[in-house]
């Protein structure tokens, strides 16, 4: 019987044609000596990784190879939640860990040993036949390998969630057909955008009855491109649904949000998976947002992000903008989708907007809705509407204003307290318990 540690590792460097690669380094510009270094690094890390028992936090170059910090998979959780650590120190530890596993993992020698001292973890030395070349493709390839055997944190990234309505009520064949239809809409929208010179380096993971979708690239431009991608996916699904028979094309509800998350590669057999998975604030918010969403509804969460359209390689936005400004900027870019074919007809005009309402001061502003989830936590969202014109005909996507909930109105009733000293009756106790259970399970969506 062979030892699992002797199995040849499946490396992202071996899957050059895969769409699962993030920031893939062009291997044709890496010489054969450095490719050998990368292979040796992959093999050694895989052995130290031990099918997910350990994770890599950071690395630093060495003239004879490189240094890495490896910790057990439970180490970071314990480090951030030590029972004998003051609350302020716990928050400081969490900030330190998030910064450590964000962005590039390479550290200078001084930074590397400072991390080692703070975590009280001895570095691990990995010997290579020759020193790593200080060339961008080589260093990027090392970063890919390190991240694949570690855990990453992304502070701000756009993600959208497509959820199939009443998925569990369909037959297994219908469920498979609907998931396949959604997958096709994603691939079709990708190809159509690519024809317009907009490349979405998208990734997706299944939720069972839908998909989380995100752009592997980061930044305001990447977030904006993902928004356009979502609009085209929803439009493709709507036209397919109108032309289909039976229940092979799903009725969906969709949410878009920007927030932080962790990214990891789960163990698949003796190797880490090629596909990454994300979990964190942004995915939790999306799930709560769509929990009470209606069929065909499009929701956008309340967030602040970098100003779309002003980021460059040398200049970044200083002031974060709200979701309302972000969507207006995306609307101005929808003209790039004009001319794209949709159900045999080209898109002549495409626009998006939040549903608006009249405020007390007489001004029209986007209507904001508050969702209270099963944990009685509040989430704020906006209702998105998309309008498409094709050869004089209009296609409206999203929920119209008349189908949206209004503001909560008090009925004016007040409960009379029991007279002092009088014990509550059995009926009162049952009513109180019933009311308590209702309060604990209440889920509502109302306009703010």
DSSP, residue by residue, 364-396: EEEPEEEEE-TTS-EEEEEEEEEEEEETTEEEE
Q: What does each C-alpha distance from 64 to 121, 133, 143, 365, 445 come to in angstroms?
A: 21, 12, 18, 62, 60
Q: Are residues 128 and 204 in the same domain?
A: no
Residue-wise pLDDT tens digits, 280-308:
999 999 999 999 999 999 999 999 998 76
* Residue 404 DSSP label: S
* Two tokens, residue 146: 């390190």
Higher-confidence position of 414 and 326: 326
Lowest average pLDDT, out of 23-32, 182-191, 336-345, goes to 23-32
- The per-residue pLDDT for 294 is 95
Q: Are residues 40 and 145 in the same domain?
A: yes
443 part of a folded domain: no
Q: Are residues 166 and 127 in the same domain?
A: no
441 part of a folded domain: no
Neighbours of 115 (CB within 10 A): 18
- The per-residue pLDDT for 7 is 46
Give me the count of residues in the chain: 448
Neighbours of 396 (CB within 10 A): 12
- The per-residue pLDDT for 314 is 43
Q: Are residues 35 and 162 in the same domain?
A: no
Highest mean pLDDT among 18-32, 190-204, 255-269 belongs to 190-204
Higher-confidence position of 162 and 440: 162
| Helix boundaries (H) for 250-337 | 281-291, 323-333
> What is the C-alpha separation between 185 and 164, in angstroms, rounded?
13
Identify the three-state secondary structure at position 341: strand
Q: Tell me if 102 sits within 8 A of 151, measured CB to CB.
A: no
* Two tokens, residue 141: 């390839």
Q: Tell me if 203 sits within 8 A of 210, measured CB to CB.
A: no
Average pLDDT over residues 6-30: 50
22 part of a folded domain: yes
- The per-residue pLDDT for 414 is 44
* Two tokens, residue 147: 């991240």
> What is the C-alpha separation between 192 and 198, in angstroms, rounded?
9
Average pLDDT over residues 434-443: 56
Average pLDDT over residues 399-404: 91
For 219, list phi and psi in degrees, rounded to 5: 115, 170
Distance from chain centroid for Cα 99: 19
Q: Are residues 144 and 159 in the same domain?
A: no
- The per-residue pLDDT for 3 is 47
Residue-wise pLDDT tens digits, 337-394:
999 999 889 999 999 999 998 888 888 999 999 999 888 889 999 999 999 999 889 9
413 part of a folded domain: no
Average pLDDT over residues 215-230: 94
Q: Name the average pLDDT for the chain.
A: 84
54 part of a folded domain: yes
What is the torsional sign of CA 309, 312, 315, 320? positive
Asked whether residue 19 carries a pLDDT value surpassing 50, the answer given is no
Asked whether residue 18 carries a pLDDT value surpassing 60, the answer given is no
Last residue of a domain, one of 125, 149, 173: 149
Asked whether residue 315 carries a pLDDT value surpassing 50, the answer given is no
The residue range of the domain holding 376 is 154-403
- The per-residue pLDDT for 334 is 94
* Residue 264 neighbours by CB under 8 Å, 6+ apart: 151, 152, 276, 277, 279
* Residue 290 neighbours by CB under 8 Å, 6+ apart: 161, 163, 253, 254, 255, 299
355 part of a folded domain: yes
Last residue of a domain, one of 149, 173, 194: 149
Identify the three-state secondary structure at position 154: strand
- The per-residue pLDDT for 431 is 61
Q: Are residues 30 and 77 in the same domain?
A: yes
309 part of a folded domain: yes
Last residue of a domain, one of 149, 169, 184: 149
- The per-residue pLDDT for 21 is 41
Q: Are residues 137 and 197 in the same domain?
A: no
- The per-residue pLDDT for 313 is 41
Q: How many domains does the chain have?
A: 2
Q: What does each C-alpha distance from 275 to 15, 118, 206, 278, 354 come to in angstroms?
A: 11, 32, 12, 10, 34
Domain containing 387 — which CATH number?
3.30.70.1230
- How do 124-127 and 65-72 pair as beta strands? antiparallel
Asked whether residue 256 carries a pLDDT value surpassing 60, the answer given is yes
- The per-residue pLDDT for 99 is 94
Identify the three-state secondary structure at position 205: strand
- The per-residue pLDDT for 276 is 85
Task: Find the helix or strand (DSSP H, E) in which 355 lies.
Answer: none
> What is the C-alpha separation between 23 and 53, in angstroms, rounded?
26
Q: Are residues 135 and 223 in the same domain?
A: no
Q: Are residues 224 and 244 in the same domain?
A: yes
- The per-residue pLDDT for 218 is 92
Q: Tell me if 215 sits within 8 A of 158, measured CB to CB.
A: yes
437 part of a folded domain: no
CA-wise closest residue to 200 among 388, 312, 336? 336
Asked whether residue 2 carries a pLDDT value surpassing 60, the answer given is no
Q: Are residues 128 and 165 in the same domain?
A: no
What is the torsional sign of CA 286, 329, 390, 404? positive
* Residue 150 DSSP label: B
Q: Tell me if 216 sits within 8 A of 23, measured CB to CB.
A: yes
Residue-wise pLDDT tens digits, 80-134:
876 555 656 667 888 999 999 999 999 999 999 999 999 999 999 999 988 999 9
CA-CA-CA-CA torsion for 133, 138, 142, 144, nearest 10 degrees? 170
Q: Are residues 140 and 159 in the same domain?
A: no
CA-wise closest residue to 15 among 218, 273, 277? 273
Name the pLDDT band for 333 (thresholds 50, 70, 90): very high
Residue 271, Ramachandran bin (φ over 0: left; ψ between -120 and 50: alpha; else beta): beta
Q: Are residues 99 and 188 in the same domain?
A: no
């Amino acid at each position: 019987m062979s030892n699992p540690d002797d199995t040849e590792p499946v490396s992202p460097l071996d899957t050059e044609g895969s769409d699962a690669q993030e920031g893939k380094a062009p291997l044709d510009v890496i010489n054969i000596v450095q490719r050998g270094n990368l292979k040796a690094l992959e093999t050694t890390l895989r052995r130290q990784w031990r099918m997910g028992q350990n994770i890599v936090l950071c690395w630093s170059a060495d003239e004879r190879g490189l240094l890495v910090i490896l910790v057990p998979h439970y180490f970071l959780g314990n480090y951030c939640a030590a029972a004998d650590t003051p609350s302020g120190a716990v928050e400081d530890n969490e900030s330190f860990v998030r910064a450590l596993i964000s962005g590039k993992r390479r550290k200078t020698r001084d930074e590397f040993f400072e991390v080692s001292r703070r975590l009280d973890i001895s570095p691990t030395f990995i010997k290579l036949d020759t020193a790593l070349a200080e060339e961008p493709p080589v260093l990027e390839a090392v970063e890919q390998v390190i991240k694949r055997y570690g855990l990453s944190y992304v502070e701000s990234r756009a993600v959208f969630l497509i959820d199939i309505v009443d998925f569990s009520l369909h037959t297994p064949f219908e469920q498979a057909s609907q998931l396949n239809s959604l997958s096709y809409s994603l691939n079709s929208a990708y190809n159509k955008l690519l024809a317009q010179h907009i490349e979405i380096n998208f990734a997706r993971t299944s939720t069972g009855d839908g998909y989380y979708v995100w752009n592997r690239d980061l930044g305001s431009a990447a977030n904006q491109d993902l928004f356009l991608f979502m609009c085209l996916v929803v439009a493709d699904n709507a036209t397919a649904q109108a032309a289909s028979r039976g229940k092979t094309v799903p009725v969906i509800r969709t949410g878009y949000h920007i927030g932080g998350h962790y990214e990891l590669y789960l163990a698949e057999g003796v190797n880490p998976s090629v596909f990454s998975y994300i979990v964190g604030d942004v995915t939790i918010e999306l799930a709560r947002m769509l929990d009470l969403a209606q069929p065909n509804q499009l929701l956008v969460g309340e967030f602040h992000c970098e100003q779309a359209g002003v980021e460059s390689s040398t200049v970044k936005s200083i002031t974060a903008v709200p979701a309302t400004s972000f969507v207006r900027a995306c609307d101005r870019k929808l003209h790039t989708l004009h001319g794209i074919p949709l159900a045999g007809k080209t898109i002549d005009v495409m626009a998006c907007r939040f549903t608006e309402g009249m405020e007390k001061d007489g001004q029209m502003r986007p209507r904001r809705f508050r969702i209270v989830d099963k944990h009685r936590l509040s989430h704020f969202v906006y209702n998105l509407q998309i309008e498409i014109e094709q050869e004089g005909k209009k296609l409206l996507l999203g929920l119209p204003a008349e189908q949206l909930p209004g503001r909560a109105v008090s009925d004016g009733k007040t409960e009379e307290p029991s007279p002092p000293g009088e014990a509550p009756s059995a009926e009162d106790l049952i009513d109180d318990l019933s009311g308590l259970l209702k309060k604990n399970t209440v889920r509502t969506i109302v306009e703010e």
